[in-house]
Amino acid sequence: MNELSELRGLRADAPLPDADRLTAPRARLTAALHQDTRRPRAALPQRRMILVGAATAGALAVTAGIITALPADSSGTSAPKGPQVLSAGASADTLELAAATVEKYDGTEPGPKQWVYEKATALGEGKPRTAEEWTRWDGTGHANLPGRAPAGDISDFDPDKLQVWYGPNQEEKWKKEGYDDRSQRQYYRFLDTLPSDPDRMMKRIREEHAIGDIKGETRAQRDWREINVLYRSVLIPPKVQAGLFRALAKIPGARVTTGVKDPLGRTAISVSVNYAEKVPSGWQGKQEIFFDPESYAYLGTSKADGLIVSARDAWGVVDKPGARP
């Protein structure tokens, strides 16, 4: 008796798993292998030391001087070619893997005199526009490049000169007068108070995040809009980033697509919803958020099939305005 032949015969009519069913298990296996074979953090090449997230929107190793410009293409050689839309189950598995990855990152808060740096590009209307911004963590300073032209005579204005503003700390004034404005520090600390459970977290965000209610908007539509805005924050506590990935998995119709390109042409994964008809916020069509496929760093957004697009080129924490990570 040939036991192997008998065994094969018992499952001869079983269908082979398709690529979609294999995507999430393959991702988990790859992550496990990376975990086992990863070299100590100090030995990693600097170009892979990426600040993730916010706005965003994962790794919050926020010591000054860390390299945060994303590589041009961070895809693995074994990744499938071309975009692949995952099923609801595989999408949820992928988002859980992203959550489990980012919640392990360091969440150290910057010092009050450090500056948060972001380089971003806006596309979709006319020429792409790239700008750099520096914001002092305690809210007392801000810098722009290119500079913004002042009102009145601009004959001596040089847009290529770093424009730096210093002023008093506005945090207590905003709080006392009931303003919705928050400094980056206040915003980070608000996020750090959120529960890690995605349902409780989104409930608190809906109650306290001041993006405004829109009549007729469903909870799923509101949550998508909240998450879309939250990822634009340069620094987000790791537990909140993990909660956002888990909240995305709960939005009906949200799907992960692998093997896509972000607005700057970098290899990415995306999470999207598609509104066949205009929703109360005015959004219609495909709404997409892009992430790095390995670190799950926030890369940018696209609305209505590319009509409005924004991308984050680089970000990090530095010690003075004009410095870059």
Residue 172: phi and psi, rounded to 5, are: -65, -35
- Angle value at C-alpha 290, between 284 and 293, nearest 5 degrees: 150
The answer to whether residues 134 and 322 touch, using CB atoms and an 8 Å cutoff, is yes
CA distance 218 to 245: 19
Q: How confident is the prediction along the chain (325 residues), in pLDDT tens digits per residue? A: 444 344 344 444 444 444 444 455 555 544 443 444 333 333 333 322 233 333 333 333 333 333 334 444 444 445 557 899 999 999 999 999 999 999 999 889 999 999 999 999 998 777 899 999 999 998 899 999 998 877 777 777 888 899 999 988 777 776 666 555 667 888 899 899 999 899 999 999 988 866 878 999 999 999 999 999 899 888 999 999 999 999 999 999 999 999 999 999 999 999 999 999 999 999 999 999 999 999 999 999 998 755 778 999 999 999 999 999 9
**pLDDT at residue 25 in the model:** 52
Q: Where are the beta strands (DSSP E) in 87-188?
A: 115-123, 129-136, 141-145, 163-166
The pTM for the full model equals 0.74
CA distance 288 to 84: 14
User: Which run of H or of E encompasses 25?
Assistant: helix 19-37
DSSP state of 107: B
**The residue count for the chain:** 325
Give the bridge partners for 130, in sequence order.
121
**Separation in Å, CA 248 to CA 24, 53, 162, 324:** 16, 15, 38, 32
Tokens of 107: 């969440």
Helix axis angle for 238-249 and 88-102, nearest 10°, is 180
Nearest to 315 by CA among 303, 296, 299, 292: 299
Half-sphere exposure of 270 (CA within 13 A, CB side): 27
**pLDDT at residue 185 in the model:** 87
The radius of gyration of the chain's CA atoms, rounded to the nearest angstrom, is 22
Nearest to 49 by CA among 29, 70, 33: 70
CA distance 56 to 166: 25
Nearby residues of 30 by Cβ (< 8 Å), 6 or more positions away: 76
Query: What 3-state DSSP class applies to 85?
Result: strand
